[in-house]
Structure 1
Amino acid sequence: MPLVLSKKINIIMIIKDVTNRGQGYSLIAALLCLLFVFNQPAAISSEISAEAQNLIYSCPMHPEETSAEPGKCSICGMFLVAEEEQDDHDISEHDMEHEMAPMLKNGKPALFWENRDSQAIVSKQHKHSSDHENSPVTQRLRPSILSGESAPEDQNLQQSSVERNEKHSEKGQSTIYICPMHPQIKQHEPGGSCPICGMDLVAKENTVPAGDSPQVFLEAAVIQNMGVRTTKAERKILHKLIHTQGLVTADDDRLISVHPRTGGWIEKLQVLTEGDRVERKDILVYFYSPWINQAQLKYIEALGELDQTSFEPSKKTEVAAKVDARRNSLRLLKVMDMDIMRIKNSRKVQNTIQLLAPQGGVITELNVSEGNYIEPYQSMFTIVDLSRVWVMVDIYEHQAPWVRKGNTVEITAPAIPARSWSGVVDYIYPTVDLKTRTLRARIVVDNPDEALLLNMFVKIDITANTPKQAVLTVPREAVIITGERETVIKSLGNGHFQPVDVKTGMRGEGSVEILSGLQQGDDIVVSGQFLIDSESSLQASFLRMSE
């Protein structure tokens, strides 16, 4: 093959090889090729000039934008890239392999400067090109060719851009300008261009306002498969029905313990066992006490003195007062008026006295037996009247604002499923239990047939106080509670959804009061909202990672 044609093919392959390696090598290839042409015969220069005249520059993004000279695309601003037109004559594949064989190095195509014919040219022209080393463009694009290392300036180009972006982010600037083709190129000042492709930097749209969650788009088929249902936030009066449990206890006003007023012995016991029913003034025991007998003797003596005053009228008033005092002493010792009348009529001491039931009810405690000695501090009997009972209920802390004294209550017992009772909240205790974190309330219930027994388990439905004005509410299942925030999923229409943080108030029967975050008429998701919230949280994480 002629020398001129061989050199021509070699130069064309050099231009192809270096141009494909990137923009940074294109300028170096052009400079070296020109230097090579200056030292060759005129025939080679004419061949190179003919090839250069056939180069066309086009935009990588818009191929219809072409030019015969280097420049920028009028549409996107990218650098135009040279494209070689097909020559009229074809180069045989055999000749191509023959000329490119020396350019193989370690099984890989070698750069043009590693060719035997090109090494001398590079060495000869290295001194000539040293005048341009201090040029800013040359310093940025010049690679360390012979050493095989990339330019430090090229390595630090993107890093410096990122550092500038971080500095501006620290200053709180929100608008970021990026390259559409190379998003890693960022700056906070408008009007710049990408140092890689030359495109104008454009402002990055902030699709998620500060403090808001990203929107989620779902296809209609996905919405159907997820079973997404929506409802509207509306204003209404909240109603609250508190469901809780309770325990039947005795009414303290109808619970009586029977004690002796002085020490003595149980001579005869009329009550046989606990659970016996007694009526008011029924005889409980026959009680013997020496101190009661002494009081009877003093009373009998006072009665004798009163009888003698018929001969001395001046002492009658004084003796009558003494008789009354002795009679009151017997009454204080729980001697019944019937026994006192018997003592007065017989003028004899009654060895035992009768202790009567102060009220009707059921004996719940029996602490004595016949022959026992009893002191005044000891309880002999406990009598409970079950015609009215108390029900003690536990209320959770968040339910406390709803419960007030006077609230009506409906009571049912699992043991008696066919009946219900009505009651009223009588008292709310002012302390919270440390272990259960509940508040105790007392309910008064009429129990005329004594169907509610002591310690019976019952279910309570308390009709709570309701606000007088309508408030903005959403269904309780629409609110997602994470422990740190409360969120609802707002439907924006056309398959778009967005999580919205809300502040809730009182919780009614199936509804929650919304204090802030929503407006009346907003569409709220009530089914499938957890999956949508998870997707939005995932998108928010990706957005934070990309900034």
Structure 2
Amino acid sequence: KLKLLGLTDAQVKEIERSGKAKDKVTIYAPTGGIVVERNATEGMYVQTGTRIYSIADLSKLWIYLDAYETDLPWIRYGQKVEFSTKAIPGKTFAGKISFISPIVDEATRTTKVRVTVDNSKGLLKPGLFVDGIVRASIYGAGKVMDASLEGKYIGPMHPEIVQDSPGKCPICGMDLVPAEELGYLTHPEDVLEPLVIPKSAPLLTGTRAVVYVKAPETSRYELREISLGPLAGDFYIVEGGLDEGELVVSSGAFKIDADLQIRGKKSMMNPEDSIEMKGHAGHNM
């Protein structure tokens, strides 16, 4: 019964040895950590189940980041995240993605991404605002590549656990899973690097994307419809319509297009040349 009340084996043995009851007894917390809330004061009457203190283990923290829906193609479980906080200027911290919410917030168009962080030095505090960056190497038609994970197995709930062979996670006991099952490309030699253009190059109509491409051996630029993939930072991945080495207008394409629209030529809003207008009989236009 004494053990159920929170006394340790050593305390019970001391009572048995002395054979005397004590008017004061030390109750040890079942887990280590930092007192984050005190609910009782000295002399206060407490009953079974009364919360006296709230204790939190802050040696590991969860950080929640908001990822825009356009960034989701590049985010993977287990990726390294670098982040900073204005509360500790000049210092960069790192953690690993341990959960990606399957839901997009309709108001903000963002998804919650949870990052597990080692806080053994105690520098980070719950409630701080942070800014995070995820860097991804992209191959093929927008595939995330990490060659360092080739042949590796990762803990499905603890991304910090990475091993060379199958087994159990030493923290939760779940089976480790191959990195490839988490969406990583680990063999880049068989996949071409993606063709990209600056995000300022294409003109977007809502249903299609066009660019102005330099015509070979001339100083003219031609309108061309292309197929775009996801946006990766400051670049769009091109899935079709352009070849490597072709020159495109990366800045000022809208001015070129506006001039062509005024002249009734082929443009973003005019896929074909406009028919030249003619005046009525007896009138010049």
TM-score, normalised on structure 2?
Answer: 0.68
User: What is the aligned partner in structure 2 of residue 382 from structure 1?
Assistant: 54
User: What is the aligned partner in structure 2 of residue 400 from structure 1?
Assistant: 72
**Structure with bigger RCO (C-alpha 8 Å, 6+ apart):** 1
> Aligned-pair distance for 1:417?
2.5
Gaps of 5+ in 2: 140-187, 279-285
Measure the CA separation in 2 of the matches of 1:364 and 1:405: 30
Residue 366 (structure 1) aligned with residue 38 (structure 2): yes
Distance 1:495 1:399, change over 3 A: same
Larger radius of gyration: 1
> Aligned-pair distance for 1:352?
4.2
Residue 482 (structure 1) aligned with residue 205 (structure 2): yes
Distance 1:508 1:413, change over 3 A: same
Distance 1:352 1:544, change over 3 A: farther
> Deviations for 1:442-467, whole angstroms, at most 9, x for unmatched residues?
11222232111221222211122522
> Aligned-pair distance for 1:371?
3.0
Aligned length: 219
User: What is the aligned partner in structure 2 of residue 535 from structure 1?
Assistant: 259
Measure the CA separation in 2 of the matches of 1:433 and 1:379: 35
> Aligned-pair distance for 1:351?
4.1
User: 2:79 touches 2:134 (CA, 8 Å); kept in 1?
Assistant: yes
Worse overlay, 493-502 or 503-512: 493-502
Measure the CA separation in 2 of the matches of 1:401 and 1:473: 15
User: What is the aligned partner in structure 1 of residue 237 from structure 2?
Assistant: 513
Residue 355 (structure 1) aligned with residue 27 (structure 2): yes
Among the aligned pairs, what percent are the same residue?
30
User: What is the aligned partner in structure 1 of residue 117 from structure 2?
Assistant: 445
> Aligned-pair distance for 1:394?
1.0
Measure the CA separation in 1 of the matches of 2:234 and 2:103: 28
Letter in 1 for 2:37: E
Measure the CA separation in 2 of the matches of 1:465 and 1:527: 26
Letter in 2 for 1:463: R
Letter in 2 for 1:339: Q
Measure the CA separation in 1 of the matches of 2:18 and 2:244: 90
Measure the CA separation in 2 of the matches of 1:519 and 1:463: 26
User: What is the aligned partner in structure 2 of residue 499 from structure 1?
Assistant: 223
Letter in 2 for 1:476: K
> Aligned-pair distance for 1:504?
0.6
User: What is the aligned partner in structure 1 of residue 159 from structure 2?
Assistant: none
User: What is the aligned partner in structure 2 of residue 473 from structure 1?
Assistant: 196
> Aligned-pair distance for 1:410?
1.6
Measure the CA separation in 2 of the matches of 1:504 and 1:511: 10
3-state DSSP of counterpart to 1:457: coil
Distance 1:376 1:441, change over 3 A: farther
> Aligned-pair distance for 1:377?
4.0
Measure the CA separation in 2 of the matches of 1:331 and 1:481: 70
The root-mean-square deviation of aligned C-alpha atoms, in Å, is 2.4
Letter in 2 for 1:391: I
Measure the CA separation in 2 of the matches of 1:545 and 1:410: 58
Residue 420 (structure 1) aligned with residue 92 (structure 2): yes
